[in-house]
Copies of this chain bind each other. A is one copy, B any other.
Amino acid sequence: MAPRSPMIAVVGPRRDASAGELAAAEEAGAGIASAGAVLVCGGLGGVMEAACRGARSEGGTTIGLLPGTERDEANGWVVLALPTGLGEGRNALIVRAADAVVAIGGGFGTLSEIGFALKAGKRVVGLGTWSVDRRDGGDATAAGIVVAANPHEAARLALEAAAATG
């Protein structure tokens, strides 16, 4: 039989990520890989690339679910680059592949991934990402984004959730 490792998604913007967000993504990726989990992401630049670089620094496996049809789209730290041809629709696949999700920074694509993950009942750990609340003052805490204090904690919380559901 094949070994089966937990998979943790790191989602975040390709562009407009701050230096702090990129550093956080790299540290979170390293934490995920050092725990033996597989990193899954959208495979492009920015937060995705930083997370992959971190995971590779620990010898981890990185999967990139690419929006286009060309493997060359992937950043240089993606080990397994899978072109999907689904455009932004591939965001749903990233979430489905993952046992838990770490969201860093906040593009709109990231917001869609948070929505998918919460809908699927998967743990979302946020680092400087979207705060989502019902405008009517409804049960905001039900939104279920767990805010991490730092990248190390983000990786730990995601890994714990993956272990609980695996």
Residues in A lying within 8 Å of B, measured CB to CB: 1-4, 7, 38, 40, 52, 56, 61-63, 69, 71, 76-89, 91-93, 96-97, 106-116, 118-120, 126, 128-136, 138, 143, 147
Contact = CB atoms under 8 A, between A and B. Distances in A.
Q: Sorted from nearest, which 6 A-B pairs have the closest CB atoms?
A: A112-B115, A111-B115, A108-B119, A108-B118, A89-B92, A85-B87
A138 B106 contact: yes
9 contacts: A1-B77, A2-B56, A2-B76, A2-B79, A92-B112, A93-B93, A106-B135, A106-B138, A109-B119
One complex includes copies of this chain to the number of: 4
A85 to B, nearest CB: 4
Q: Is the interface of A mostly helix, strand, loop or mixed?
A: mixed
B88 A119 contact: yes
B108 A83 contact: no
